[in-house]
């Protein structure tokens, strides 16, 4: 018998703490026969079970506060450094979200959250490999966060979710628009600057003042000029918003090319550096 093959094909294990009916139904829906799922009523029970068994993913309960779940995260990671912990919390403060990032939480959701987003993150968590170094928090204050993110789709999705939670206190429209613009520019940086090479990283700074929120993204690429990117919708002539699509198809590029154009609609200012490998997004809060 091929023991290695059996190990590779064995179901992934998920530990769920005090799930409400909606979360339990979601887990049951997507787990099927591919995951082994254990349910426990408390963080204490989760830690006791983790003493003897290793789980790929631990999903906390939205009934416990962020500090309790951060304590569980730290204790489990001491036992099993590669366990991926997704925190569900009843409310969020930027300090709790950045603490979760510092302790290498896989993701963070504040209730109420979209179940489809949680489903996507659970699947990322069970499928991701070598994820620990994906997001490296360098410094964090209430006004300024600086980090590095590895150039891959899973890390991008994780980081966008963290940024959503950091901006929890923003008005819903401002939060939604800033998140959409940040995602577009982050993926642009990872694709065109980092070529989705997991060995490369983008640098991100998130700044919050009384009057504005800004995000700075710096990629490892050689840069570009806005006037020299015919594969992007931003370069299309007036009256022909899809002119770039044929060029993208001929060059074998993925569908898209609307990132810069969309981001400009979602924020108040979008500023590129002279070299073109740094972009700053600014959303004013006191208009």
Find all residues with CB under 8 Å of 175, minimum gap 6, and list them: 164, 167, 168
Which CATH number is associated with domain 133-287?
3.30.565.10
Question: Could you tell me the CA-to-CA distances from 232 to 96, 128, 237, 248 in Å, in that order?
Answer: 38, 30, 11, 8
Task: Quote the pLDDT of residue 8.
Answer: 47
Token digits of residue 247? 């060029």
Find all residues with CB under 8 Å of 281, minimum gap 6, and list them: 178, 181, 182, 185, 214, 215, 216, 217, 263, 267, 269, 270
Task: Quote the pLDDT of residue 7.
Answer: 42
Task: Quote the pLDDT of residue 135.
Answer: 95
Please state which architecture CATH assigns to domain 1-131: 3-Layer(aba) Sandwich (3.40)
Task: Quote the pLDDT of residue 133.
Answer: 73
pTM: 0.85
Task: Quote the pLDDT of residue 62.
Answer: 93
Q: Where are the domains of the chain?
A: 1-131, 133-287
Per-residue pLDDT of the chain (287 residues; tens, 9 = 90+): 343 343 445 678 999 999 999 999 999 988 876 789 999 999 999 999 999 999 999 999 999 999 999 999 999 999 999 999 999 998 878 899 999 999 999 999 998 899 999 999 999 998 887 677 799 999 999 899 999 999 999 999 999 999 999 987 789 899 999 999 999 999 999 998 999 999 999 999 999 999 999 999 999 999 876 555 655 555 555 666 565 455 555 656 555 456 788 899 999 999 999 999 999 999 999 76
> What are the backbone angles phi and psi of residue 146, rounded to the nearest 5°?
-130, 135
Task: Quote the pLDDT of residue 94.
Answer: 87
Task: Quote the pLDDT of residue 93.
Answer: 84
Task: Quote the pLDDT of residue 24.
Answer: 93
Q: What does the DSSP 8-state code read for residue 250?
A: H
Buried b or exposed e, range 16-54, using 16+ CB within 10 angstroms: bbbbeeebeebbeebbeeebebeebeebeebbeebeeee
Return the bridge partners of 109, or none: 88
Same fold across 1-131 and 133-287 = no
Q: Are 138 and 218 in contact (CB under 8 A)?
A: no
**What is the C-alpha to C-alpha distance for residues 128 and 80, in angstroms, rounded to an integer?**
16
Q: Are 231 and 191 in contact (CB under 8 A)?
A: no
């Amino acid at each position: 018998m091929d023991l290695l093959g059996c190990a590779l094909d064995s179901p992934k294990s998920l530990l769920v703490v005090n799930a409400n009916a909606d979360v339990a139904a979601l887990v049951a829906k997507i787990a099927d026969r591919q995951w082994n799922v254990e349910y426990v009523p408390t963080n204490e029970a989760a830690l006791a079970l983790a003493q003897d068994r290793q789980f790929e993913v631990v999903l906390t309960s939205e009934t416990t506060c962020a500090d309790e779940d951060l304590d569980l995260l730290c204790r489990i990671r001491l036992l099993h450094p590669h366990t991926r912990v997704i925190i569900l919390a009843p409310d969020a403060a930027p300090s709790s979200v950045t603490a979760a990032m510092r302790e290498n939480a896989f993701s963070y959701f504040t209730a109420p959250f979209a179940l489809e987003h949680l489903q996507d993150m659970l699947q990322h968590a069970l499928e991701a490999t070598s994820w620990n170094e994906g997001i490296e928090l360098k410094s964090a204050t209430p006004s300024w966060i600086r980090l590095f993110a590895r150039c891959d789709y899973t890390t991008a999705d994780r980081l966008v979710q963290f940024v959503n939670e950091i901006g929890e206190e923003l008005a819903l429209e401002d939060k939604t628009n800033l998140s959409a613009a940040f995602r577009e520019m982050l993926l642009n940086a990872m694709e065109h600057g980092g070529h989705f090479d997991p060995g490369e990283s983008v640098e991100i700074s998130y700044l919050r003042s009384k009057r504005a929120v800004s995000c700075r993204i710096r990629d490892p690429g050689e840069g570009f000029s806005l006037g020299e990117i015919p594969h992007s919708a931003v370069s299309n002539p007036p009256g022909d918003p899809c002119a770039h699509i044929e060029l993208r198809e001929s060059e074998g590029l993925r569908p898209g090319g609307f990132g810069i154009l969309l981001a400009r609609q979602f924020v108040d200012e979008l500023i590129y550096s002279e070299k073109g490998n740094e972009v700053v997004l600014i959303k004013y809060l006191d208009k």
